[in-house]
Homo-oligomer: A and B are copies of this chain.
Amino acid sequence: MRLSKKSVYALRALTCLGASTASEVVSIHAIARQERIPKKFLEQVLLALKKAGIVQSSRGKGGGYALRVAPAQVTLGDIIRAIDGPLAPLPCASAVSPVKCPGCLDVESCWLRGVMTEVGAEVSAVLDHITLADLCRRAALSQRRSPHVLMYEI
């Protein structure tokens, strides 16, 4: 039930983008420095977010990333799903792409699947009603008290 580091990086990077205006782009380098995320790793994270339609990019000199949708339109669930895959507690309990769990005989009559599908739905509901705008608001508040913009070199 743990969030991967990749997802956490995604969340931090996105609040970074959410803080900028929609029109201006932010480079991987800038995000990596500000959030202290390994640059090449962040590269993969942002690529995944792009493929999920959450961010857009422009290449070449002066290029970078920006949100593709309004912060209030993208949810925590969207972000985590884009990085870590389905939120369901079991492979068979995914709403989008259910597959039989290894070791189970019959996915149809599996009672665990029934319970876990419901659990997954409730977890999704929780994560899908928290938006990136909420995260940005919180981040802004806590930064006022203790800014964590650093001078480290990546």
Contacts and interface: CB of A to CB of B under 8 A. Distances in A.
Interface string A1-27: 111010010011000000000000000
Contacts of A88: 1
Interface residues of A, number: 43
A2 B90 contact: yes
A interface: dominant SS? helix
Interface string A106-145: 1011111011100100110011001000110011011101
B139 A111 contact: yes
Contacts of A76: 115, 119
Interface of A: 1-3, 5, 8, 11-12, 36, 76, 80, 84, 87-90, 101, 103, 105-106, 108-112, 114-116, 119, 122-123, 126-127, 130, 134-135, 138-139, 141-143, 145-146, 148
